[in-house]
Amino acid sequence: MKKVFLTFVFALLSVVGFAQTGWQVDPMHSSVNFTIKHMGISFVQGRFDKFDGKAVTKGNTLANAELSFNVDVSSINTGVEMRDKHLKSPDFFDAEKFPYMSFVTGSVVKGENGTYIFKGKLTIKDITKEVSVPVTFGGITKNQQGKEVMGFQTAFKVNRLDYNIKYDPTGAGVAKDVDVNLYFEMVKQ
Q: Which CATH number fits the domain that encloses residue 47?
A: 2.40.128.110
Residue 2 lies in a domain: no
Residue 71 lies in a domain: yes
Residue 84 lies in a domain: yes
C-alpha distances out from residue 107 to 10, 28, 62, Å: 28, 27, 10
DSSP secondary structure letters along 9-52: HHHHHHHHHT--EEEEE-GGG-EEEEEEEETTTEEEEEEES-EE
Q: Is the pLDDT of residue 169 over 60?
A: yes
DSSP state of 147: -
Residue 155 lies in a domain: yes
Residue 14 lies in a domain: no
Q: How many domains does the chain have?
A: 1
Print the domain residue range for 87.
19-188
Give the H/E segment covering residue 79.
Answer: none
DSSP secondary structure letters along 91-141: TTT-TTT--EEEEEEEEEEE-STTEEEEEEEEEETTEEEEEEEEEEEEEEE
Q: Quote the pLDDT of residue 18.
A: 57
Cβ pair 133, 65 in contact under 8 A = no
* Percent of the chain whose predicted confidence (pLDDT) is above 90: 85
Residue 26 lies in a domain: yes
pTM across the whole model: 0.87
Tally of CB atoms within 10 A around 75:
16
pLDDT tens-digit map of 38-86: 999 999 999 999 999 999 999 888 999 999 999 999 999 999 999 999 9
